[in-house]
Structure 1
Amino acid sequence: MDFRLTEDQRALRKGVRELLARLFDREALRAAVDSGGLDRELWRELGAAGFFALRVPEEEGGVGLGLPEAVLVFEEAGRVLLPGPLVATHVAAGSLRGAAEGEVVVTAVDEGLVPWLDEADVVLGDVAGAVPMRSVDPLTPLHKVPGLVGAGDGGGTRPQGRRPVVPTRPAPAGRMPTTGVADALPATAGAELVAVLLTAAEQVGSAGRTTEMAVSYAREREQFGQVIGGFQAVKHLCAGMLVRAEMARVAVRAAAVTGDPVEIAGAKLLADEAATGNARDCLQVYGGMGFTWEADVHLHLKRAWVRARLRLPAARAEEVVAEQL
């Protein structure tokens, strides 16, 4: 089986990178951090570009591509930290009117957490009793649904200090709640497997970007009369980052071709490790500068933490893979 990208796939990746460079550059990223809200105009622009309709058949008005192409697109989204419930909206685009065009924002209950609940028009899953959480990622607002798997067990969220949390309404006005997804991977529907893999693709994009950031900074920053990239310890960090990112990328793209549930679980596991590990190592390369609010490194680490808690977290992914050994 040939996993190399075709000419059309390389063109798609290039086009998406150029589109996101125009629609969501660093200035837009920082504006999103400051505002904390979802840019509906950006969402519609993504819809017009076919971001959400990528896998919708052409006869239904979509682009008509497959999961391998979607993985490439979501890698680019992860690379620039594109905010919003991208995966849920993309997966729902074939069945919910307005989602493909970016007119409707869709979110879903996942591991007891609901990203972007206040901004969503459609909520997939039961959000009765959902309460707001203080998300570690300023670009991913979260609610917790008590009693569900993963709810409130740490890993990227924390309660809002000591103040009492007021429950949100069961289903915000204008939203259509639907049934939740199954907990065990082998029993999940194809849509949930797609969601797991696309989340892994976002993690891969972030891992690749932090590798680029670390290498670029190592070539510029000087200490003791030479660039820090000349020091063996820094070289080892950057090399390790590259290995993690490429291993995860290969696993995600291979799983997109095979569609095997166990391979998807393994890909998510590797992608989570690559995104969080690379962000940490990038912080080490940056040194004290990396811990400042002005640097973007911490945003990658925080987003990686949150994604790792969503869509098949490590403990469950390990069980799925181990069961097949």
Structure 2
Amino acid sequence: MRFRLTEDQRELQRGVRGLLERRFPREALRAAVDAPGRIDRELWRALGAAGFFALRLPEAAGGVGLGVPEAVLAFEEAGRALLPGPLVATHLAAGAVPGAAAGETVVAAVGGELVEWLDAADVVRGDACGAVPLRSVDPLTPLHRVPRAAAADPLAVLLTAAEQLGGAVRLSELAAQHARTREQFGRPIGAFQAVQHLCADLLVRAETARAAVYAAAVTGDPGDIAAARLLADEAAVRGARDCLQVHGGMGFTWEADVHLHLKRAWARAQRNGEVTESEELLAAGLVS
């Protein structure tokens, strides 16, 4: 099975990246960190106008008329940019909740025992009665815990894996850039073998996760989606830790973006229930 992107898919990916670079540059990311829990409604409407939430809706229903593979590419770019907000929940609500497709309505959804952006949402899908606010490790992902866990939506799991993939790819870029420019003992730290190994491991994990996520987007198989989730979570979380190692002490400072990627990776990994659910599903498929 071939997973090479078509030119149209590459153009979509470039278009989403360009949109986010214009509408959500690093300065906007830092401004969002300073104002946690607030949805940028203007940005949300811009995403809606660009078709981000309506990618999979039929053209007859006012959507773009594309499929899951294209949605995965868009969410990969969102993860790379650390775009905040209940993106997955709003995307999945397009066509079912008025205003969601256009970005006029912000939708939150219960995933596992958690719901993200509960207080900022216009509509909440699922049973959020009795929700208790949590202190989230990620300043850009406010969380509530609900007493009744919800079953994970396979497409939500896949789109979250795509976000994790985007984060892992960005971490690989940040590590390589720092290794080329940071000098010690009169030469770039990328000249040292230990740093080279870290950067290589980052890239290998990201590309392995990419293959799994893209494959799951094509097949839609629950086992493939479970594998994509596990590999993407590993690429994002371990990638952030290795990227921190490449950056050294400065990677832990508030001025660096690496720690934001690590915190977001932790938060995403818990979005759709415990990882053991995906492990058990994958194991069952392997032994059957």
CA gap 1:271/1:312 in 2 versus in 1, 3 angstroms: farther
Equivalent in the alignment of 2:242? 281
**1:182 Cα deviation from its structure 2 partner:** 3.0
Which residues in structure 2 correspond to 1:139-150 (within 5 Å)?
139-146=140-147, 148-149=148-149
Which residues in structure 2 correspond to 1:122-141 (within 5 Å)?
122-141=123-142
- Would you say how many aligned residue pairs link Structure 1 and Structure 2? 285
Q: Does 1:249 align with 2:210?
A: yes
Q: Does 1:228 align with 2:229?
A: no
**1:199 Cα deviation from its structure 2 partner:** 0.3
TM-score (norm 1): 0.86
1:182 to 139, 151, 154: 151
Deviations 1:174-198 (A, max 9, x none): xxxxxxx436xxxxxxxx2111100
Equivalent in the alignment of 1:168? none
Contact 2:158–2:213 (Cα < 8 Å) also in 1: yes
Which residues in structure 2 correspond to 1:16-165 (within 5 Å)?
16-36=16-36, 37-146=38-147, 148-149=148-149
Structure 1 residue runs of 5 or longer lacking an equivalent are 150-180, 184-191
**1:312 Cα deviation from its structure 2 partner:** 4.5
Q: Does 1:12 align with 2:12?
A: yes
Name segments (4+ residues, structure 1) moved above 4 Å. Answer: none
Looking at structure 2, the residues matched to 210 and 3 of structure 1 have their Cα atoms a distance apart, in angstroms, of 23
Name the SS of the counterpart of 1:290 in structure 2.
helix
**1:125 Cα deviation from its structure 2 partner:** 1.0
TM-score (norm 2): 0.97
Equivalent in the alignment of 2:166? 205
Looking at structure 2, the residues matched to 312 and 274 of structure 1 have their Cα atoms a distance apart, in angstroms, of 18
Looking at structure 2, the residues matched to 263 and 218 of structure 1 have their Cα atoms a distance apart, in angstroms, of 34
Give the number of the structure whose residues are more often helix, by fraction: 2
Q: Does 1:263 align with 2:224?
A: yes
**1:110 Cα deviation from its structure 2 partner:** 1.1
**1:269 Cα deviation from its structure 2 partner:** 0.6
Deviations 1:101-158 (A, max 9, x none): 0000011111211100000011111111111110000000011113x34xxxxxxxxx
**1:324 Cα deviation from its structure 2 partner:** 1.1
**1:225 Cα deviation from its structure 2 partner:** 1.0
Contact 1:206–1:275 (Cα < 8 Å) also in 2: yes
**1:12 Cα deviation from its structure 2 partner:** 0.5
Q: Tell me the percent identity.
A: 71
Contact 2:162–2:232 (Cα < 8 Å) also in 1: yes
Looking at structure 2, the residues matched to 315 and 223 of structure 1 have their Cα atoms a distance apart, in angstroms, of 42
Looking at structure 1, the residues matched to 154 and 73 of structure 2 have their Cα atoms a distance apart, in angstroms, of 16
Deviations 1:12-71 (A, max 9, x none): 101111110000000000000001111111101100010000000000000000000000
Name the SS of the counterpart of 1:132 in structure 2.
strand
Looking at structure 2, the residues matched to 63 and 193 of structure 1 have their Cα atoms a distance apart, in angstroms, of 22
Contact 1:265–1:312 (Cα < 8 Å) also in 2: no
Looking at structure 1, the residues matched to 131 and 285 of structure 2 have their Cα atoms a distance apart, in angstroms, of 35
Q: Quote the RMSD (CA, aligned, Å).
A: 0.9
Structure 2 residue runs of 5 or longer lacking an equivalent are none
Deviations 1:270-295 (A, max 9, x none): 00000001000000000001010010
Structure 2 counterpart of 1:230, which letter?
A: A
Name the SS of the counterpart of 1:295 in structure 2.
coil
Looking at structure 2, the residues matched to 82 and 256 of structure 1 have their Cα atoms a distance apart, in angstroms, of 21
Looking at structure 2, the residues matched to 129 and 198 of structure 1 have their Cα atoms a distance apart, in angstroms, of 27
Looking at structure 2, the residues matched to 261 and 207 of structure 1 have their Cα atoms a distance apart, in angstroms, of 22
Looking at structure 1, the residues matched to 272 and 205 of structure 2 have their Cα atoms a distance apart, in angstroms, of 20
Name the SS of the counterpart of 1:123 in structure 2.
strand
Contact 1:269–1:313 (Cα < 8 Å) also in 2: no
